[in-house]
């Protein structure tokens, strides 16, 4: 398995081929998810092989955005199925990676530990200090691309619903991010009530 080669390949494509309107789903989001996945894989005790599978899934989870926005997870697994054999990933490993990627589709539905780690990594920002900045990038992206245009009030309402229904899966993510996520949610509720 040539993980460094696969990483270089997809980061290069994301850097050079994603449109300028991808304010949230940018190469920076992919790197952010990779960092979170690496941290969670270590704290959850994955062996090196499974850690590399998780990191590969993190790198490719939004690769489908290169071709399509809606339902991009399906497109992402087409890309992994075509590209990863060139980097000596086995069919079994690609199946595991593809299943992980599919579980990141909202609403998330993770079953295995690897899937849970990737889902938690993808939404890690919900429980961080930079939540409001990152969330506004997504709102801006949706508005510019006419995916789901919202006013600020509508956005707050969407976030309250989304965050209220979201749950982190892994003990590590719960410990690290749950309380801050609740704090961020409470701040949104306060802002909405003061409008």
Q: Annotate 129-140 with b (16+ C-beta within 10 A) or e (fewer).
A: eebeebbebbbe
Q: Is the pLDDT of residue 194 over 90?
A: no
Q: Is the pLDDT of residue 195 over 60?
A: no
Give the pLDDT mean for 102-127.
97
Residues 149-183 have pLDDT tens digits of 899 999 999 999 999 999 999 999 999 999 999 99
Give the pLDDT mean for 13-18.
97
Q: Apex CA 110: angle with CA 63 and CA 25, to 5°?
A: 25
Percentage of the chain with pLDDT > 70?
A: 99
Residues 52-79 have pLDDT tens digits of 999 999 999 999 999 999 889 999 999 9
Q: What is the pTM of this model?
A: 0.95
DSSP class of residue 64 equals: G
Radius of gyration over alpha carbons of the chain, in Å?
17
Q: Apex CA 39: angle with CA 33 and CA 42, to 5°?
A: 135
CATH of domain 3-193: 1.10.3210.10
Check residue 192 and give its pLDDT: 86
């Amino acid at each position: 398995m040539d993980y460094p080669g696969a990483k270089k390949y997809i980061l290069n494509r994301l850097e050079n081929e994603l449109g300028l309107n991808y304010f949230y789903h940018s190469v920076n989001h992919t790197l952010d998810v990779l960092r979170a996945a690496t941290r969670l894989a270590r704290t959850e005790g994955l062996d090196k092989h499974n850690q590399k599978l998780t990191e590969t899934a993190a790198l490719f989870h939004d690769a489908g955005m290169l071709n399509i926005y809606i339902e991009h997870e399906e497109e992402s697994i087409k890309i992994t199925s075509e590209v990863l054999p060139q980097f000596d990933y086995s069919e079994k490993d690609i199946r595991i990676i593809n299943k992980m990627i599919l579980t990141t589709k909202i609403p998330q539905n993770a079953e295995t530990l690897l899937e849970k780690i990737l889902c938690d990594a993808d939404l890690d920002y919900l429980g961080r200090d930079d939540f409001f900045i990152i969330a506004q990038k997504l709102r801006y992206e949706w508005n510019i691309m006419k995916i789901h245009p919202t006013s600020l009030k509508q956005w707050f309402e969407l976030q309250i619903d989304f965050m209220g229904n979201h749950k982190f899966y892994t003990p590590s993510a719960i410990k690290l991010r749950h309380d801050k996520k609740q704090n961020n949610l409470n701040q949104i509720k306060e802002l909405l009530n003061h409008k």
